[in-house]
Amino acid sequence: MRSRFDEQLYELNRELIEMGAMCEEAIASAAKALSTGNMELAAKVRANGAAIDQMERDIEGRCMKLLLHQQPVARDLRQISAALKMITDMERIGDQAEDIAEIVTFLNGHTMEGMELIEEMARATIEMVMSSVDAFVKKDVELAEKVIAQDDVVDDYFSKVKYGIISMITENSTDGEFALDLLMIAKYFERIGDHATNIAEWVIYSVTGKHKEV
């Protein structure tokens, strides 16, 4: 019985890693579409959102089966409950990558001063997501804590982008609509950083039994 349970836990971990990789790819593709104006890449991000949603449903179903049909000990319960929380954040990361890609489509290759800062913010956010998934794979509490600390860096990027855009609108209102689109993109990256932080916190909980908010 236990060996079967361990096999299912292994499959759960594998699916979580796969979903995390899909999210990483979605964010990276959205960021690249923004920097290059590649409309085909933006469309691909939006199309791949359905695959991330399906993966969330599949993992949720596996977690429910593990809870209902097996007899998990406390450590296993932590891992399964953390997985359920993590897939919610991963699914939202996928949604926000889609939102960025949709705005990129509207921009249609339009660029302006300040894009470079958003691209730097995107790289920092992608690193957070990659590291949060890596922390889960390795059960690495120290790496998860670094992800949480990195959220301050992403928040600082957002503040700089926001005030830069306000200055641009003040100096030239003709680009106001475009500037607001850029602000929304920056906000989505900032939210992705928050979700990566949540994932890191659940990684810590799955290993230690302690959650930052508890």
Checking if the pLDDT of 124 tops 90, the result is yes
pLDDT for res 9: 85
CA gap 133, 153 in Å, rounded: 19
pLDDT at 125 over 90: yes
27: closest CA among 110, 89, 86, 84? 89
pLDDT higher for 129 or 172?
129
Give buried/exposed letters for 140-157 (b at 16+ CB in 10 A, else e).
bbebbbbbbebbeebeeb
Mean pLDDT of 21-40: 89
Q: Going by C-beta distance under 8 Å and a sequence separation of 6 or more, which residues neighbour residue 21?
A: 133
Q: For the chain, which residues make up each domain, given as ranges?
A: 2-208
Q: What is the pLDDT of residue 39?
A: 86
Contact present, 205 and 211 (Cβ < 8 Å): yes
Contact between 129 and 143 (Cβ < 8 Å): no
Q: What is the pLDDT of residues 139-169, one digit of tens each?
A: 999 999 999 999 999 999 999 998 888 887 7
Give 22 or 168, the one with higher predicted confidence. Answer: 22
pLDDT at 94 over 90: yes
Nearest to 12 by CA among 89, 67, 51, 53: 67
Crossing angle, helix 176-208 and helix 74-107, to 10 degrees? 170
φ and ψ of 111, to 5 deg: -130, 160
Q: Confirm if 27 and 122 have CB atoms less than 8 A apart.
A: yes
CB 12 within 8 A of CB 80: yes
Please write the tens of the pLDDT for every residue from 161-205. Answer: 988 888 877 877 676 778 888 899 999 999 999 999 999 999 999
Q: What's the pLDDT score for residue 113?
A: 59
- pLDDT digit string, tens, across residues 32-89: 888 888 888 888 898 888 899 999 999 999 999 888 876 767 788 888 999 999 999 9
Q: Is the pLDDT of residue 2 over 80?
A: no
Residue written as token pair 């030239």: 172
Which alpha helices (DSSP H) does 111-175 contain, by range? Answer: 115-138, 141-171
* Burial environment of residue 179 by CB neighbours within 10 A (0 to 12, 13 to 18, 19 or more): buried
- The pTM assigned to this predicted structure is 0.90
Q: For position 200, what pLDDT does the model report?
A: 96
Q: Report the distance separating Cα 42 and Cα 106, nearest Å.
A: 10
pLDDT of residue 112: 58
> Which fold is adopted by the domain 2-208?
Methane Monooxygenase Hydroxylase; Chain G, domain 1 (1.20.58)
